[in-house]
Structure 1
């Protein structure tokens, strides 16, 4: 069973682009879009009780409530379903990549600009490939 997908990014154009690439790559037909991390977390909490996984594409550089704060709070949640996170960021700072590996839920790190081939590669990431077979 393919995971549901949510995309969290503060830029509307990026949300639309990533959604288009997700659909084009065959990952999901209608991912959920959120312009901030808190709305994404609220959505995840509203999904408790489900068993199917959710894949999160997360921007880390957002005003107010950023992706790092999202990941910190996500760690404290007790969810009934698996969550996996792929960071999608414009940051080329190596320390961000290193920091992302300290979060158990983060399974990938993609630097913008995102391409269809990058999205197709997401299905092969450890922890996800079993859902896309």
Structure 2
């Protein structure tokens, strides 16, 4: 079963760009888009059924409920084992990369700007690769 894909970013143009790259890379035809982490985590909880798996492309620097708060909420939720996260960020701060590794759901870290090649590399990440074969 292919994962449902969720893209979370506070910038509309980035949401559209990542959506386009996801579709072009053949990862999903209609990813779900959210402009904040709170709406995305609520959606995940609402979708908690049938052992569906999710792949989330997550920006960490957003106003309000940011990517770190999303990850903190996910880490203590019942759906944490159904969700894998690839962080997509403009941050070049090494401490963000280190912090991201402390979350078991984070399987990748991509720095913007995102390319189609980067998106295709997601299918080669061990935890997700089995869903795209």
Q: Where does structure 2 lack aligned partners over 5 or more consecutive residues?
A: none
CA RMSD of aligned residues (A): 1.1
The structural deviation recorded for 1:67 is 0.4
Once residues 121 and 98 of structure 2 are traced to their aligned partners in structure 1, the CA distance between those partners, rounded to angstroms, is: 20
User: 2:52 — aligned with what?
Assistant: 52
Quote how far apart the aligned CAs of 1:81 are: 6.1
* Number of aligned positions between the proteins: 133
Please tell me whether the aligned partners of residues 74 and 80 of structure 2 are also in contact (alpha carbons under 8 angstroms).
no
- Divergent runs of 4+, >4 A: none
**Pair 1:119–1:89, CA change in 2 (3 A):** same
Match of 2:100 in 1: 100
Relative to total residues, which structure has the larger helix share, 1 or 2? 2
Change (3 A) 1:104 1:81: closer
Please tell me whether residue 61 in structure 1 is matched to residue 57 in structure 2: no
> What does the per-residue CA deviation read over 1:1-51, in whole Å, with 9 as the maximum and x for residues that have no partner?
211100000000000000000000000000000000000000000011221
In structure 1, list runs of 5 or more residues that go unmatched.
none
SS at 1:108's partner residue?
strand
Deviation at 1:61, TM superposition (A): 0.3
